[in-house]
């Protein structure tokens, strides 16, 4: 469709004119401006909702909201075209079969072996070995080898040594969805563990010997403690209500040596609504500080993030400080349980704060343990009531921790944002379907590529320059401040306003420090080499000359990176802030602030050295992926990586 | 950019040729200027009843007047006190924290101050027009706007030396009544009539700029905290009294006290205040004033409440990386 306008949300007068294309996998907008022909690509999988708005004199507005929080406002000249686009997008954004998803056509031009290797990068057996298992207390069980016991669990589960197959099977029959207690994390320093399950089918009075034996087995696997905590991550009221449906929670009277604890985290419906409300706040045009703070509080979003974090902190403390094992569950043990177990693991074990470790963590507590990616993130068209930002919340918890502990993580904010992006993009096969069983049936590993391999290949983009594995902040258990700590939870504009250029600094501290770090390393290596050569008198003359020319090249590069810091940015519409001010009575007629409103013509594109990309000046980023046949790109994978997703250091 | 106090138009709409001529000489042939009045149109009008007022359009035809009300005086001090109370209140739950924060209005004041300064800067840089800033007395919100606008516009004001010069010029010599304004701070029950944290508001705005432009200021948060401390209680004479006259007549502050700047600028001291990421930026820095971009200055308001250990370590690591290079 031609003559379509793409509006900028913050500056409503900045509209780009171009052509809109719809392909099998993407929506593409190409600007008419002949020099740049800037492209905006959006994967259908990313589309969360499409809204056709009232036709105005300028055309028919179409609003596309994406799961990665991009909001695209188009204005299509003809109503008929707009309607066609709308209907098409509705269908394209709601695939019915897995084969419609991008991952089945995406071709990064790797050979079969490379694809296989990519899938092998993260190996859970290796991970449990790293934890120290199998050992005297824990072993691997193949009781679920054909998914016969629990179809949402992996084939390989880790259980206490004293848990026989009989006990496991018996316990599984007493648990919602058959999700029996299994090991999530083992702390070899003190033998305390984190196990996870779903709720017991206890109703008001039902008991199950094998389930009770299972919990005893967990306790026995930790000789340092004579009880275990059982943590129900639901609000007490919800858990009690479940009893009426024949489910519920563990009765301390029936299970010997357990201490039961509720840590109320709300359910998926509450979270879905919470995100919805928060996004509405983000869409307000020129909100006042009041509008924003009230709106944010009203959404409850940060309160929920804190609840998840608090649960993780409780469990980490129980394991690290008390040396007591914990069994965690919610209702089905695949949402809140996953969040809380992975937060706790991250707090306990610095390995999960490394890039590789983090990928392993997600693979373990989310992918292998059957978090319902398809239902939650809408790979395929399904029940809207199943949709919920569960893993988004976990990812945000990690970001909140990164802000409090800037040196503690090997990876940076961009890593988190790209992972979130790809959970929804369906460009890679890792996050498809609802369970390991489904993924194997679809032969995902043979037909798609692994995100982990892709991220690993590009890991230079994802490093945190402040991370040092020998730094005190990166050692041992992480202990976030507990109280007071409300103020520590910040609104993550890097994620929820990701695509709004005007809100973020144009200078990325992370990228700058990484460049500095790399250069320092190069110089240090060179210094070593020089030192060696200097000691060899015969060659010294020749080598000095060689080295000088190398140094000159490098200083040119340095010049580039430092001058990039002087990026022109443009003022936003400060004069539009009038809403919050009481002034402007009719007698003010003359005060034409509108004279101050700058037209595109007035804006001087001031200045010097923008030797790098024009992208950085224009302020409209290259969104989402490029050609389906080429290498996948997120904005940062192209050259202009420092201009868009800038990062604040606390 | 010019600053002044309000014209004494009064209820009878007095005129003053000299004042009109003075403002006339500022503008070149055909040029026009903007007057940014930091009072609401309502308040400015009411000021006439007590002898003050605004510049009538008929007498100042080439000047366009804009009103951008900025909070000052008692209400600003109350806002500060409420915020500090909220920060110290350990009983607030997460589900009420943001509304409590909002009710203090402090962040709204930061947003308003930044917006107004940006407006002044925009007039000069984009419209290439002269700007006159005034409120009522010209000693509070006026200085806030002119000083902030210079940090935004002028790269030399973002250097350590330049910033000190800016403070001397736009706050100290310009006659911000420090003695009255920075008397007891937020914990005091005294509730003095003349007390108001304009200078702190200025420092907060500068901190917001440093966060949004991490490479563009030669100094860091440490300097801002030190300035805050010294404005209220100091071993140095720099922030004493209310104006130059008080400092010179009868007191001889310069002869009998030491200057804060002299101490700060000593090589061993200075390095504490420098921003390791600084890279001179010749351009104007335009901050975002969207609510998401304005954050609560934790380093100041939670200074004694939460450990800054991890953030300090991050800065130390940053310094190490940059200096190692």
* Sequence-ordered list of residues with C-beta below 8 angstroms from that of A532, at least 6 positions apart, any chain: none
Cβ(A412)–Cβ(A510) below 8 Å: yes
The token duo for B266 is 């000593």
Other beta carbons less than 10 A from residue A338's beta carbon? 25
Interface of A with B in 237-256 (CB under 8 A): none
Q: Where are the alpha helices (DSSP H) in A19-98?
A: 79-92
Spatial separation of the C-alpha atoms in residues A37 and B109, rounded to whole Å:
42
> Are B298 and A492 spatial neighbours (Cβ–Cβ below 8 Å)?
no
In chain A, the residue whose alpha carbon lies closest to the alpha carbon of B282 is A566
Q: Is residue B325 part of a domain?
A: no
Our count of domains for chain B comes to: 1
Which of B97, B107, B115 has the CB atom closest to A486's CB atom? B97
Q: Per the domain annotation, does B318 fall within a domain?
A: no
DSSP secondary structure, A256-308, as one string? TTEEEEE-----HHHHHHHHHHHHHHHT-SS--HHHHHHHHHHHTHHHHHHHH
Q: Cβ neighbours of residue A133 under 8 Å, at least 6 residues apart?
A: A139, A140, A158, A183, A186
Which of B53, B131, B298, B325 is the best residue to mutate to test the A interface, defined by the most A CB atoms within 10 Å of its own CB? B325
* Confidence at residue B213, expressed as pLDDT on a 0 to 100 scale: 96
The ipTM, to two decimals, is 0.95
A466–B314 C-beta distance less than 8 A: yes
* Chain-chain contact of A572 with B127 (C-beta, under 8 angstroms): no
- Quick check: B38 and B69 in contact, CB under 8 A? yes
Over residues A392-434, the pLDDT tens digits come to 999 999 999 999 999 999 999 999 999 999 999 999 999 999 9
From B183, B169, B176, B171, select the one nearest B242 (Cα to Cα). Answer: B176
Q: Is residue B317 part of a domain?
A: no
Q: How far is the C-alpha of A229 from the C-alpha of A328, rounded, in Å?
A: 8
Chain A residues close to B293, C-beta within 8 Å: 493, 503
Q: B315 in a domain, yes or no?
A: no
Task: Measure the CA–CA gap between B221 and B303, rounded to whole angstroms.
Answer: 12
Q: How close B209 gets to chain A, by Cα (Å)?
A: 10
How many A-B residue pairs are in contact by the CB < 8 A criterion?
215
Residue B324 lies in a domain: no
Q: Which one of B215, B221, B280 makes the best mutation probe of the A interface by having the most chain A beta carbons within 10 Å?
A: B215
Which candidate, B145, B71, B284, places its Cα nearest to that of A289?
A: B71
Residue B25, chain A, CB below 8 Å: the answer is: no
- Structure tokens, B134: 């005034």
Q: Where are the beta strands (DSSP E) in A60-120?
A: 60-66, 71-76
Cα→Cα distances A481→A76, A310, A400, A401, A532, Å: 51, 10, 12, 10, 49
Distance from CA of B257 to the nearest CA of A (A): 37
Residues 6 or more apart from A564 whose CB is under 8 A from it? A507, A611, A612, A616, A642
Dist CA A67 CA B233 (whole Å): 52
Does the distance separating the beta carbons of B69 and A582 come in below 8 Å?
yes
Classified as helix, coil or strand, B284 is coil
Q: Which of residues 125-154 of B touch A (CB under 8 A)?
A: 126-127
Residues in chain A with CB shorter than 8 Å from the CB of B298 are 487
CB–CB contact A584 B41 (8 Å): yes
Give the number of other Cβ atoms within 10 Å of residue B281's Cβ: 19
pLDDT computed for residue A639 by the predictor: 28
Enter the pTM of the model.
0.88
Domains of chain A, first to last? 4-94 (2.30.29.30), 124-512 (3.90.190.10)
Q: Say if residues B97 and B91 touch (Cβ distance below 8 Å).
A: no
Res B37: pLDDT: 97
User: What is the C-alpha separation between A589 and A288, in angstroms, rounded?
Assistant: 24
Question: Which SS3 state, helix, strand or coil, does residue A620 take?
Answer: coil
Answer yes or no: is B245 within a domain: yes
Chain A closest CA to B145's CA: distance in Å?
14
Contacts of B109 (CB under 8 A, 6+ apart): B70, B71, B76, B79, B201
Q: Which residues of A are annotated as a binding site?
A: 267-268, 330-336
Alpha-carbon gap, residue B222 to A331, rounded angstroms: 49
3-state DSSP assignment of residue B313: helix
Task: Give, for all 325 residues of chain B, the pLDDT tens digit.
Answer: 999 999 999 999 999 999 999 999 999 988 889 999 999 999 999 999 999 999 999 999 999 999 999 999 999 999 999 999 999 998 999 999 999 999 999 999 999 999 999 999 999 999 999 999 999 999 999 999 999 999 999 999 999 999 999 999 999 999 999 999 999 999 887 888 999 999 999 999 999 999 999 999 999 999 999 999 999 999 999 999 999 999 999 888 999 999 999 999 999 999 999 999 999 999 999 999 999 999 999 999 999 988 889 999 999 999 999 987 6
CA distance B253 to chain A (A): 39
Residue A187 designated active-site: no
* C-alpha atoms less than 13 angstroms from C-alpha of A441 in its C-beta half-sphere: 12
CB contact under 8 A, B101 and A516: no
Ranges of chain A whose pLDDT falls below 70 = 10-13, 538-568, 575-650
Look at residue B322 and tell me if it is in a domain: no
Q: Which residue of B has its CA nearest to A300?
A: B95
Residue span of the structural domain in which B173 resides: 2-309
pLDDT at position A36, please? 80
In a domain, B143, yes or no: yes
């Amino acid at each position: 469709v031609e003559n379509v306008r793409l509006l900028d949300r913050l500056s409503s007068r900045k509209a780009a004119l171009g052509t809109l294309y719809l392909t099998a996998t993407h929506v593409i907008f190409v600007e008419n401006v002949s020099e740049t022909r800037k492209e905006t690509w959006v994967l259908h999988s990313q589309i969360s909702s499409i809204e056709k708005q009232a036709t105005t004199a300028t055309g028919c507005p179409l609003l596309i909201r994406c799961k990665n929080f991009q909001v695209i406002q188009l204005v299509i000249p003809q109503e008929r075209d707009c309607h066609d686009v709308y209907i098409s997008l509705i269908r394209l954004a709601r695939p019915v079969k897995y084969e419609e998803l991008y991952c089945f056509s995406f071709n990064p031009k790797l050979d079969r072996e490379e694809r296989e290797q990519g899938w092998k990068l993260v190996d859970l057996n290796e991970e449990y070995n790293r934890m120290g298992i199998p050992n005297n207390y824990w072993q691997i069980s193949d009781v679920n080898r054909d998914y016969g016991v629990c179809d949402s669990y992996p084939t390989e589960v880790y259980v206490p040594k004293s848990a026989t197959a009989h006990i496991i099977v018996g316990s599984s029959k007493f648990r919602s969805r058959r999700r029996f207690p299994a090991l999530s994390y083992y702390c070899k320093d003190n033998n305390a563990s984190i196990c996870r399950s779903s709720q017991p089918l206890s109703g008001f009075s039902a008991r199950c010997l094998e389930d009770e034996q299972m919990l005893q087995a967990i306790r026995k696997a930790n000789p340092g403690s004579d009880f275990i905590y059982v943590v129900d991550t639901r609000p007490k009221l919800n858990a009690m209500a479940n009893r009426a449906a024949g489910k519920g929670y563990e009765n301390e009277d029936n299970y010997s040596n357990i201490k039961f604890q509720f840590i109320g985290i709300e359910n998926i419906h509450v979270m879905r609504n919470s995100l919805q409300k928060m996004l509405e706040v983000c869409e307000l045009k020129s909100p006042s500080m009041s509008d924003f703070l009230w709106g944010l509080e009203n959404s409850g979003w940060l309160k929920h993030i804190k609840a998840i974090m608090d649960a993780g902190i409780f469990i980490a403390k129980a394991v690290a400080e008390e040396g007591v094992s914990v069994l965690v569950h919610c209702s089905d043990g695949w949402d809140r349980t996953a969040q809380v177990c992975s937060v706790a693991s991250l707090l306990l074990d610095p390995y999960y704060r490394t890039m590789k470790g983090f990928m392993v963590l997600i693979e373990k507590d989310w992918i292998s343990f059957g978090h319902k990616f398809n239902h939650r993130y809408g790979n395929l068209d399904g029940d809207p009531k199943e949709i919920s930002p569960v893993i988004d919340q976990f990812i945000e918890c990690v970001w909140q921790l990164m802000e409090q502990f800037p040196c503690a993580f090997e990876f940076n904010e961009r890593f988190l944002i790209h992972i979130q992006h790809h959970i929804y993009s369906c460009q890679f096969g890792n996050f498809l379907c609802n369970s390991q069983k489904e993924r194997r049936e679809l032969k995902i590993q043979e037909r798609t590529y692994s995100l982990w391999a892709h991220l690993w290949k590009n890991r230079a983009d994802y490093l945190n320059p402040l991370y040092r594995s020998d730094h005190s902040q990166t050692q041992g258990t992480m202990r976030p401040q507990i109280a007071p700590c409300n103020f520590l939870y910040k609104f993550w504009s890097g994620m929820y306003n990701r695509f709004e250029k005007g809100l973020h600094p144009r200078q990325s501290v992370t990228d700058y420090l990484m460049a500095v770090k790399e250069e320092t390393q190069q110089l240090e290596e060179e210094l070593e080499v020089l030192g060696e050569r200097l000691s060899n008198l015969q060659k010294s003359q020749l080598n000095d000359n060689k080295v000088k020319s190398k140094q000159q090249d490098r200083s040119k590069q340095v010049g580039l990176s430092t001058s990039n810091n002087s990026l022109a940015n443009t003022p936003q519409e400060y004069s539009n802030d009038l809403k919050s001010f009481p002034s402007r009575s009719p007698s003010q007629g003359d005060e034409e602030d509108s004279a101050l409103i700058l037209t595109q013509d007035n804006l001087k594109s001031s200045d010097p050295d923008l030797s790098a990309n024009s992208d950085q000046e224009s302020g409209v980023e290259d969104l989402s992926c490029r050609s389906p046949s080429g290498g996948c790109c997120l904005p940062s994978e192209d050259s202009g990586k420092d201009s868009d997703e800038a990062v604040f250091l606390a | 950019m010019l600053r002044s106090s309000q014209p004494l138009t009064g209820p009878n709409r007095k005129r003053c040729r000299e004042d009109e001529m003075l403002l006339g000489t500022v503008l070149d042939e055909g040029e026009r200027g903007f007057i940014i009045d930091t009072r609401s149109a309502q308040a400015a009008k009411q000021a006439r009843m007590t002898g003050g007022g605004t510049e009538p359009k008929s007498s100042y035809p080439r000047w366009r007047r804009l009103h951008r009300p900025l909070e000052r005086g008692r209400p600003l001090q109350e806002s500060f006190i409420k915020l500090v109370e909220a920060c110290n209140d350990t009983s607030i739950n997460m589900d009420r924290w943001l509304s409590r924060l909002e009710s203090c209005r402090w962040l709204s004041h930061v947003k308003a101050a930044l917006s107004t300064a940006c407006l002044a800067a925009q007039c000069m840089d984009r419209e290439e027009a002269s700007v006159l800033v005034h409120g009522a007395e010209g000693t509070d919100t006026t200085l806030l706007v002119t000083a902030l606008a210079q940090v935004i516009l002028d790269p030399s004001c973002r250097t350590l030396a330049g910033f000190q010069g800016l403070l001397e010029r736009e706050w100290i010599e310009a006659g911000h009544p420090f003695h009255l304004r920075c008397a007891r701070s937020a914990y005091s029950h005294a509730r003095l009539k003349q007390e108001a944290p304009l200078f702190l508001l200025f420092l907060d705005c500068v901190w917001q700029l440093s966060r949004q432009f991490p490479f563009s200021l030669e100094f860091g948060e440490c300097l801002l905290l030190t300035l805050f401390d010294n404005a209220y209680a100091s071993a140095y004479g720099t922030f004493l009294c209310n104006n130059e006259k008080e400092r010179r007549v009868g007191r001889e502050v310069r002869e009998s006290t030491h200057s804060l700047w002299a101490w700060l600028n000593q090589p061993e001291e200075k390095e504490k205040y420098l921003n390791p990421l600084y890279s001179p930026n010749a351009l104007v820095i335009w901050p975002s004033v969207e609510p998401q971009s304005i954050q609560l200055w934790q380093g100041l308001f939670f200074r004694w409440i939460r450990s800054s250990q991890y953030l300090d370590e991050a800065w130390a690591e940053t310094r190490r990386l940059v200096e190692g290079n």
